[in-house]
Structure 1
Amino acid sequence: MTLDFNESSPLLTRRDGAVLILSNNNTGARNALTAGYYEAMTVALREAATDPTVGAVVLTGEGGHFCSGGDLRRLAKSRELTQAQRRVRLEGLHDLIRAVGDCPKPVIAAVEGAAAGAGLSLAMACDMLVTAKNAVFSVAYVKVGLTPDGGATAFLAEFVSRQVLTELCLTGERISGERMHALGAVNRLTEPGDALAQALLLARQLATGPQQAMASIKSLCRNAYFQTLEEQLEQEAHSMVLSQESDESQEGIGAFLEKRQVDFVKLRRP
């Protein structure tokens, strides 16, 4: 694994071959979110989007926690700002959530420890989740008199009924990794301490895939929950027509017919 980071940075970056690992580095506050993290993560995701050497991205946290949510000390001072100023601050988080969705590469969350408040939102924004059994998710906002942000209610609504969603948000109940897996929100459930390793196994598999096709598939999967059948059929048709003329499909179909190992990675080499 290639290491490339400043230990004092709010975001640590590593490379594991074609996998980019982005790790929250605010261990003193269980990786609570900071403005520096928002900015660095958004830039890193946008750079990964156009980097042909990056095939997949893994989000994780240092020190045994994914992310405990917003920094309450910073939030306490927000009452001194105008509503417009508070909205500008909030858009840092929402821009990050959008960047996760907009990144054409698969983004996988490796969750250990806490994923609370906006930390839950960030994990749920990812395309896939690999989670330790004893990880703790919580829509914790109500416990400090705040309301959810970062898309928490939208992401959870894809998995649970309105009644369960309302209960989770009004109580701030702690949800184990095992229950999140049972709800269908987690792809891989691991033993404690093994989430990153298992996420890397999945990411390495995806990183060798056809990047253009996977970007279209990611868009199709995200839109499937919000579009009508007719709208989804139209998007599928558009994507299929384009993919049939791509170098990726030529390589994939050719490898199948010639009974050889497919090699999409060679298409990215200069």
Structure 2
Amino acid sequence: MNFQSPVLHSIENGIARLVLNRPDDGNAISLAFCSAFAEAVEQIARAELRCIVISANGPRFCSGGDIGEFVENRERLPEHIGAMLELLNPAMKKLATLPVPVVSVVHGSAGGAGIALACCADFVLASEKVRVRGGYSAIGLTPDIGASYYVAQRIGAAKAKRMFILNETFDAQQCLAMGLFDQLHAPEELAGAAETLVRTLACGATAAYGLVKQLCDGAASRDVETHLDIEGAALLASTRSEDAREGVQAFIDKRAPEFKGR
């Protein structure tokens, strides 16, 4: 692991960890950050995974785009941001479609594209001290890397427009009430709570979890007849898994199952 990289990654016992690592700059997203993030996602996508964790070093989770870098490139801003999106968008798509649970641990404030990095996860755990602000339209820009998608999916279009047009700041309790966050914890308890969830997920029937993700993520875009067909096919596929056989045998044996994610 290169600790100088703006994004760190590691894999141990099937748990992949992505760590935003520009602590002195609010983990702002620069072109170098985009390259490191894309490479990290590519590396973990090749591994045998059970769960993915997204977290950050420093006092903030992610402040969004690196405005200083935008200023430096203001004469060629479309080209500069286009280069960033060419790296980040494929990485975000790959992260979203990996068939394992993703957990984000939001210990500090999130803004702009940092909201996408927090809310692309299946489970969003946050500190009670966190604040969230869209910020894009304050500098004449629109959301990117899925921020508008994930926020609208979680809290609805009306509240998403409040976040990204009015640039209202939402505190942690408001985010929890709206559904942007799944759990809140005291700052000193957040890491432990996240680790408990991650290890629970990693020991679970992760082959089935991947199918559940596909079903739930695609449900809104399908009619019920189509969804029932896809859901039925997923169930039949899961019945053929090693995890299903182990789960049934463990039920018969009256013991805890030992899932392998296969």
Q: TM-score, normalised by structure 1?
A: 0.88
Which segment is superposed worse, 85-94 or 150-159? 85-94
Contact 1:49 1:105 in 2 (8 A): no
2:36 corresponds to which residue?
A: 40
State the distance in 2 between where 1:232 and 1:9 align.
42
Shift of 1:239: 0.7
- The reply to whether residue 259 of structure 1 matches residue 254 of structure 2 is yes
1:99 corresponds to which residue?
A: 94
Q: Residue 16 of structure 2 aligns to which amino acid in structure 1?
A: L
Find 1:75's aligned residue among 56, 70, 74.
Answer: 70
- The reply to whether residue 166 of structure 1 matches residue 161 of structure 2 is yes
SS in 1 for 2:187: coil
Q: Residue 204 of structure 2 aligns to which amino acid in structure 1?
A: G
Find 1:11's aligned residue among 2, 7, 21.
Answer: 7
SS in 1 for 2:201: helix
Find 2:25's aligned residue among 23, 29, 38.
Answer: 29
Instruction: Provide Cα deviations, 1:60-96, integer angstroms capped at 9, x if missing partner.
Output: 1101211110011222244433846643332322223
Contact 1:48 1:103 in 2 (8 A): no
Find 2:205's aligned residue among 198, 206, 210.
Answer: 210
Q: Residue 45 of structure 1 aligns to which amino acid in structure 2?
A: V
SS in 1 for 2:154: coil
- The reply to whether residue 235 of structure 1 matches residue 235 of structure 2 is no
Instruction: Provide Cα deviations, 1:217-236, integer angstroms capped at 9, x if missing partner.
Output: 11112112332222321221
CA RMSD of aligned residues (A): 2.1
Contact 2:11 2:44 in 1 (8 A): no
Contact 1:121 1:151 in 2 (8 A): yes
State the distance in 2 between where 1:194 and 1:142 align.
34
Q: Residue 3 of structure 2 aligns to which amino acid in structure 1?
A: E
SS in 2 for 1:186: coil
Q: TM-score, normalised by structure 2?
A: 0.91
State the distance in 1 between where 2:174 and 2:139 align.
24
**CA separation of 1:255/1:47 partners in 2, compared to 1, >3 Å: closer, same or farther?**
farther
- The reply to whether residue 120 of structure 1 matches residue 115 of structure 2 is yes
1:149 corresponds to which residue?
A: 144
Shift of 1:195: 2.5
State the distance in 1 between where 2:177 and 2:39 align.
34
Return 5+ residue gaps in structure 2 as ranges.
none
Q: Residue 156 of structure 1 aligns to which amino acid in structure 2?
A: V
Which segment is superposed worse, 203-212 or 229-238? 229-238
**CA separation of 1:99/1:35 partners in 2, compared to 1, >3 Å: closer, same or farther?**
farther
Which segment is superposed worse, 223-232 or 183-192? 223-232
State the distance in 2 between where 1:46 and 1:104 align.
14
SS in 1 for 2:119: helix
SS in 1 for 2:220: coil
